[in-house]
Structure 1
């Protein structure tokens, strides 16, 4: 059914026009004022009827719009009018109101459905407005933080100021680890934020997960890997030291007795001297190893400044220009946008780039086409990324899991701390260092700030 206002208004307008025409005819052409007054009265009455009809229609439409504005979709219009056009308009408005009620019912059902999902999902979820009023605080968040239904964000200060501070400062895509003690339990909370617009208002969705057990598992795995590497490296030095010390002791034992006054032979002295030299070298190597290990545990906080990425990479090229030429390696650099900047400690970022570039330079066998490409850009979250890519031999899958473990190395002359140190330096910048590699194709490292 479709309401046609023309079928109701046009006859009234036509009848009004005819009445005005007849009034004009009798009043001015024929001078019959009796008929003229009659048709004037009829015209006036028609004008009143038309105005009343339009007023009723406007009132009905206004009532319909008010019902929508004030969410009163239960309102209905009477369809018992004697005027078929009014009856038809009311039927159309009732049908539109019914469709709106059904649409509202479906949306409310969907909202309740998703709200139930949010309330019972296993991850702690908090939704709050810009003024700090909490809209959603699901059951997982209540169990995790051990609080009842808070109304404002500041109500969570009893849980921990560090948590509230992290929630307030995080932007879309931001993530932070927060350590809390709730009761007798220590929690490592992974806090993630997304900013949304809900019903015309800006809100922030916070997800909270306790990753204490996962961290403990990873920490144990990291310690096991580290102890394994440390044991290997220390034993490589201590075993020959112990063995050579035993040999020297065995050579000297007969000569320390009171009854033996014979001097050592030249050959014996030579063997002892060689053993002591070897012991000294292995001891120096062990001291160097300890110093390198200490460097991993004494990283200072970064001194942040705005750095132009193009200038940073050009300094890197200048530093390695000759070495690249000697190795016949082509270095390609691209920066987009050209004025890309990062907030970082220059010395630390330079150290990471130098480590990655040197690794890339050592990734080639006897191939003729040697290319290293350094790209700087921003990702979909407007965060800077610097990648270092080579077309070298690639990294074996079994080694991929270990390359960031301190002192693990696949090179004969490598110390094994470069990548581990680089990852720690990136973490100091709240960033990440990751790698993709395919054997026979090449390797690409990603510095994400």
Structure 2
């Protein structure tokens, strides 16, 4: 700035001197040529002074134009203008370099995100409310067997319901859609979100064909069920077959002694008992395959718990179990089938009673509250022996039981009843610490 100040002072001084001399010569009415030279000198100094003053403005104008047009390749020099201008130009160039660096990072992040989007295994489509597509990844193209997609409505040649669902699905919602296309079965899980950018609304939908996963889970469920059914049936059929063979040998004897007749009687009683067991098994199977249709009504949870407490009070007291009940808020209401949910809760409480029977200070808790996701939940918690890790994945399989007198249908029934309520049942269990079963209800 020192050089700049000196130049300004010199130009101002020269300008003042030229004006003074021009005034003097005009007053003395001297040679016309001298007056013209002085006037020219004044004009030049004014021009030079303006030019020097505008140098800062030019630097700043160039800086703002660079930002406006995203042109960060320009640099600025200040030769002969002084140290202050050197600092200004240094700052200018540093800011430009920061802009270049930020732009480079932005481009790298964009390429990185594009790479992730294009390589992720789930289909992704982003589009405007009118259906115009601005992004579709490779997984979505592969899923729909297309090379490009300009508008969502183009997918109508695959399935019109799919297009309607994509356009109408609300942000934060999931949707399941099934259809057949080119002899292939599709079961798509859609999840949508929306965001606003540059005054435009974008809908972003993830699409996953879960058909193979569902088929795999279904096959696994059937295998587990068949394994349990085979085990239960063979437990009855094997002794019946063996006893029948023995009895057949006995009745073929020419003479039947009193002892033989007693053996036949015992064998027949055994066959009868095992046959009744098979009938009970079939009836249990019917009970889980034909659950009554839920009859929904608005129920105060506090009243529901009072009914449960009245039904279980005697059994809990006899076994010395501390029973804790809480409802938060106390006015909590749920839309449910009271009889079916009571059946579920009683079954869970009976399981809890069995789990705490070896504890010195058995405690069972029954509580209801608004869960973390804002949906009501009912918890049945005990401080019992817990569920073995290798058993945990099997407890919802029909007829699976670890109890000698259990039917193995209670938890399976509970799961189906909660499905009727558009909810679910989950549990957390730690050996020797206890188990918590949670019923999740949608609002």
TM-score, normalised relative to structure 1: 0.70
Deviations 1:306-330 (A, max 9, x none): 5544443333323322222222222
Q: CA deviation at 1:394?
A: 1.1
What is the 5 A alignment of 1:76-115?
Answer: 99-100=98-99, 102-115=101-114
Structure 1 counterpart of 2:37: none
Indicate the residue corresponding to 1:49 in structure 2: none
User: Which residue of the partner structure matches residue 384 of structure 1?
Assistant: 376
**Any idea what the Cα deviations from partners look like across 1:340-361, whole Å, max 9, x if unmatched?**
4445444443333222222112
Q: Which residue of 2 aligns with 1:36?
A: none
Q: Is the 8 A contact 2:120 2:139 kept in 1?
A: yes
In structure 2, what is the Cα distance between the partners aligned to 1:72 and 1:429? 57
- Secondary structure at the residue paired with 2:304? helix
**Where does residue 146 of structure 1 map in the other structure?**
145
Q: Is the 8 A contact 2:72 2:99 kept in 1?
A: no
Structure 2 contact 356–363 (Cα < 8 Å) conserved: no
The equivalent of 1:323 in structure 2 is 315
- Cα root mean square deviation, aligned: 4.6
Distance in structure 2 (CA, Å) of the matches to 1:242 and 1:207? 56
CA distance in 2, matches of 1:333, 1:317: 9
Q: Is the 8 A contact 1:344 1:429 kept in 2?
A: yes
Tell me the secondary structure at the aligned position of residue 355 of structure 2: coil
Q: Report the counterpart of residue 348 of structure 2 in structure 1.
A: 356
Q: Of 426, 433, 437, which aligns to 1:434?
A: 426
Matches within 5 A, 1:333-348: 333-348=325-340
Whole-angstrom CA distance in 1 between matches of 2:326 and 2:208: 39
Listed one character per residue, the Cα deviations across residues 218-273 of structure 1 (whole Å, up to 9, x for unaligned) are 33332222222111111122223333433444444457xxxxxx8x7766655544
Stretch of structure 1 that moved more, 398-407 or 216-225: 216-225
Deviation of 1:303 (Å): 5.1
Q: Measure the CA separation in 1 of the matches of 2:123 and 2:62.
A: 44
Which segment drifts farther, 403-412 or 309-318? 309-318
Give 1:416 deviation, angstroms: 0.5
Tell me how far apart the structure 2 counterparts of residues 266 and 163 of structure 1 sit (CA, whole Å).
77
Q: Quick check: 1:393–1:439 contact (8 Å CA) kept in 2?
A: yes
Normalising by structure 2, we get a TM-score of 0.71
Distance 1:422 1:170, change over 3 A: farther
Of 341, 366, 387, the match for 1:395: 387
Match of 1:125 in 2: 124
Question: In structure 2, how many angstroms separate the alpha carbons of the residues matched to 1:94 and 1:344?
Answer: 69
Task: Indicate yes or no: 2:232 matched with 1:233.
Answer: yes
Q: CA deviation at 1:92?
A: 7.7
Sort the Cα spacing of 1:165 and 1:332 in 2 relative to 1 into closer, same or farther, 3 A: farther
Aligned residues: 401
Unpaired segments ≥5 residues, structure 1 = 9-52, 256-261
Residue 289 of structure 1: how far off its partner (Å): 0.8
Alpha-carbon offset, residue 67 of structure 1: 8.5
Structure 1 residue 202: deviation in Å?
A: 5.2
Q: For 1:333, what is the secondary structure of its paired residue? A: strand
Q: Which residue of 2 aligns with 1:221?
A: 220
Q: Distance in 1 between matches of 2:199 and 2:370?
A: 29
The C-alpha deviation readout for 1:366-385, integer Å capped at 9, x for no partner, is: 32311112343344433333
Distance 1:64 1:348 in 2: 74
Inter-partner Cα distance in structure 2 for 1:350 and 1:357: 10
- What are the within-5 Å matches in structure 2 for residues 66-85 of structure 1? none
**SS of aligned partner of 2:390:** helix
CA distance in 2, matches of 1:360, 1:319: 15
- Partners of 1:333 and 1:66 in 2: CA distance: 70
Task: Tell me the residue number matched to 2:273.
Answer: 281
CA displacement 1:179-236 (0-9 Å, x = unmatched)? 4433232244343444555556554433333343433333333222222211111112
Q: Secondary structure at the match of 1:362?
A: helix
Change (3 A) 1:127 1:337: farther
Partners of 2:126 and 2:286 lie apart in 1 by 44
State whether residues 73 and 97 of structure 1, in contact with CA within 8 Å, keep that contact through their aligned partners in structure 2: no
TM superposition shift of 1:166: 5.6
Q: Quote how far apart the aligned CAs of 1:402 are.
A: 1.8
The one-character-per-residue Cα deviations of 1:271-305 (angstroms, maximum 9, x if unpaired) are 54444443333222212211211222334665555
1:410 alignment partner in structure 2: 402
